[in-house]
Amino acid sequence: MSTRRNPNILITGTPGTGKTTLAESIAQTFGYKHIDVSSLVKEKDLHDGFDEEFQCWVLDEDKVCDEMEDQMTNGGVVVDHHSCEWFPERWFDLVIVLRTDTKELTDRMIKRKYNQLKIDNNIDCEIMQLILQEAFSSYKEEIIMELQSSTIEDNENNQQIISDWTKQFVQSRQQQ
């Protein structure tokens, strides 16, 4: 069990599920650091090139983990990324998997100007619950929460759920 006073939280899900919006909100609420892994990869060149077909950087998992390691040690970090199986299990106290209605998810990806191949691939991932399966195969079941993220109300509810959990985590650590 970690001795961190503040938790590290991973928010994951198919692209377009609202990970970054939720992560930014939680980080701001608690004064935690937010790491958007996709942005970090671009900023620090932690990739092996650009995938033209899917229009995304091919991240180098080892480089990303090396870059993040020191930041994760003391807690108080909210990480968002669309995959989760390659992060060290010891880093996270809570893993949130966001799920979105496929019609809403498609609309969001169209607004982002994703190509049809990328949209189809991501919708298939959402339908088959691939990110949720990754989470359950990579982390202890008791730290995983699956949350719906199709509406503004869902986002507000998710913020409250995570805030309540975080307050309880911090309070329990103060009592130790």
Q: Provide the 8-state DSSP code for 15.
A: T
Annotated binding-site residue? 112: yes
| H or E element in which residue 44 lies | helix 37-44
Q: In which region does residue 16 sit, left (phi positive, over 0), alpha (psi from -120 to 50) or beta (all else)?
A: left
Q: Are 147 and 161 in contact (CB under 8 A)?
A: yes
Annotated binding-site residue? 75: no
| DSSP codes joined into one string, 105-123 | HHHHHHHTT--HHHHHHHH
Helices 19-30 and 152-174 cross at an angle (nearest 10°) of: 40
Annotated binding-site residue? 16: yes
- 87: helix, strand or coil: coil
Annotated binding-site residue? 18: yes
Question: Residue positions in the annotated binding site for ATP?
Answer: 16, 18-21, 112
Question: Residue positions in the annotated binding site?
Answer: 16, 18-21, 112
